[in-house]
Structure 1
Amino acid sequence: MSKSIVAFSKDNNVPAHLRTGSSLGNENVTADNLKIPRLDLIQQLSPQCIKSNPKYIEGAETGLIFDNLTNELYENVFVVNLMFEEHFSVFKKRSLGGGFEGNFETEEAARQHLESKGLELAQYDISKTGVHKCLMLDDKGVPKQPVLLYMNGSKLPVSDQWNTLIRLKGEGTDRFATAWVLSSQEAVNKQNQPYQNWKVDFAGFVNEDLYKAAKDTYLSLTGQRGQ
């Protein structure tokens, strides 16, 4: 009978002897090969709050921020905004379970995508969306991972406001010269129904080390690193 030898640690923290910084074996992995997590807000009827739903997250409450890959929950998140893009995003209607279908340069391209896959147009929402690619920081301000924020519909004005604040606060600097704290705030829609919207506040200017990390992530996301 062979013996089982425990030669690994189940701790989520990387052991010191593995922090070589060389990243051997990942030479050919680029930003195109990685799935970037998306941060979103939990609404009152979000599937993350419903225990019978496969997307349920234990501890989920209205107004919390969640990571769609790890299901981690946050009251607020510190980020450095790296770059901005504008797309037409396709989401399945929340009443039908929700879900992201894709980003497209035009509304017509989004419609053609749904038709080509045999998906019913009436079951999806196509909306102009501001996409913010950010570098998420941990509680100590150390870079954690790139994240995406999709702001459409009632969130689009917040997107425009954030872009304006970035320009005003960091005039003459790169977009990633400033850090921001994201949280939620309650708002009311045209039907007088409450919902959670993004709240963006200026946290400060990044230090030299964080600026270098943000720039490196930006170059990686845009395919410019190593050129």
Structure 2
Amino acid sequence: MSVEKPIQTDESLTTEQRNPAVERFLWALLIVILVGVSAGAAWKLWSVRQTQSSSAAQVVVLPPSGPLGVVSDFSLVDQNGNAVTLGDLKGKVWVADFFWTHCPGKCPMMTQRMGTLQSALPQGADARLVSITVDPKSDSPEVLKEYAQRFGAKDERWLFLTGDLQAIIRLAREGFHLNATENPNDHELRLVLVDRDAHIRGYFDLDEESVAKLRQQLTSLVAEGQP
């Protein structure tokens, strides 16, 4: 009489009898899945935080009681070859930016934003726009004059300034608390609102919402000084 051997099932297999290659594959697959899920969750969290951070950083504005600093004195030359110092702007509300005429990035858009502010200012408003080149070696008064005309700048309203590179870098860093280096590409694309006492009242990005808030703040400051 023959005796049938019991059929082995997965449950009856010992650890030694199982295929180690299959087990390694299953463990590797499980690890890949877990890593993928973790990475996806981490990326989602990072994206949300980046969006929140970007939205919060669009505009930095303080009320009259809390200026962000005081612009330091400077001596530069405008597009008409005239000397310009901080004293020439005392008593006026103004908006400043740092740019260069051959900028391959967003400088033209920043200049266009300044142009919208020029258009928004009422006739006779005691306000100025001040664009300071970070490439004075290339941006002579003549070059700035042509650039200003290209963007419809009015001489009595909008100054384009050039001068000594180190003085401009120092003004950007110490006077406006903005990044600037000898490489003209390394400068911040921000619009800076300054009041009549040379107090910095706000930093604004270039998106339409931020520029609209800047226009509102600028108009409000101009109105404060009118009789």
Q: Which has the higher contact order (CA 8 A, sep 6+)?
A: 2
Structure 1 or 2: larger helix share? 2
Q: Which has the higher strand share?
A: 1
* Structure with bigger gyration radius: 2
TM-score interval (norm. to shorter): under 0.3
TM-score (norm 1): 0.23
